[in-house]
Amino acid sequence: MARVLITAFEPMPGATAEASADAARILAETWHGSAEIVHRDLEPAYKEAARRLRASVAKHLPDVVIVVATAPGTDAVTVERLAVNLDDAAIPDAFGAQPVDVPVVEGAAAALWSTLPAKEIVAALSARGLPARLSLNAGSGLANHVFYVMQRELAEWGVPSGLVQIPATPEMGAPGTALPAEVLAEALRTVVDTVMGEQSEAELEPELDEEDESEATQPFLMPITAPIPGDTPEFGLPVMEAPAPEPEPEPESEPDEVAEPAPASAWSPTSGEMPAVDRSAPDPEADAGKADEPAAAGDEAPAYRHPTWDEIISGTRTDS
């Protein structure tokens, strides 16, 4: 799981609120993304803030580091592009230190670039209706000091890192634009989503599982070589069946002459045919009851009998 380290600043001595700390805390408490959010507050002092930042990076080994600072008087979320190697404080820090015209790191580069996708972040914020803009550099105060130390420490890590400055909250009582901490937390959520290449939950759309989708669409990718049998038409659209044509009346045919039956061929053992049986012969069973009755003279009909094997073999039949 990717880990995002977000650092903010604690309130200055005597202050009742700090926009960066409040917004970062709300983001950490309401975060439901795939990455892990680690929130750490830095003391508003030059040396101590740099020390805490180094310790947090070494402890958590984050994949992204974002420093959030409050810029009273600004009217938009500002993504800084350059960290300047210069401390020129307008006000003292929490310990009373106020460096003037001194480098952050002696002998180091004059400026270091942010490695956050600055333009993409501004575009994403603007798309959500949040005021946002790019800034060339973060000035020369405490936020720039921490920004420069971070970019120098992470130069060889290849970890995206940078500084985002936000307007004050109404609780701070600062002059100029003020936005609720909840709105600023949503702005930070958009920043993290953009850096991680993700979409917020409100923008996510349901997607079909690739495996299920491929299986579901497989039949439609197969070429159709013949119409589908059944009631389904070739193009899958319902159509009405055409009415069956009425049968044409057949012409009346003249009665055919009754053909005389062909004479039965003589039976022989080599003909391969069984002799025809006269079905009109009286049923032996039906006549069994009449066997005892005397037959009238001249009306007695010879009873039918089957040929014997000798008669079949010899081809002759003897009737007695």
pLDDT tier for residue 83 given thresholds of 50, 70 and 90 = very high
List the one residue out of 152, 161, 149 whose CA is nearest residue 64: 161
Q: Does domain 3-196 have CATH number 3.40.630.20?
A: yes
Domain-wise residue ranges, the chain: 3-196
pTM of the shown model: 0.63
Per-residue pLDDT reduced to its tens digit, 241-284:
556 667 776 666 555 555 565 555 555 555 555 555 555 555 55
Residue 261 burial (CB count, 10 A): 6
Considering the chain, what is the average pLDDT of its residues? Answer: 80
Angle between helices 181-196 and 19-30 (to 10 degrees): 60
Bigger pLDDT: 10 or 290?
Answer: 10
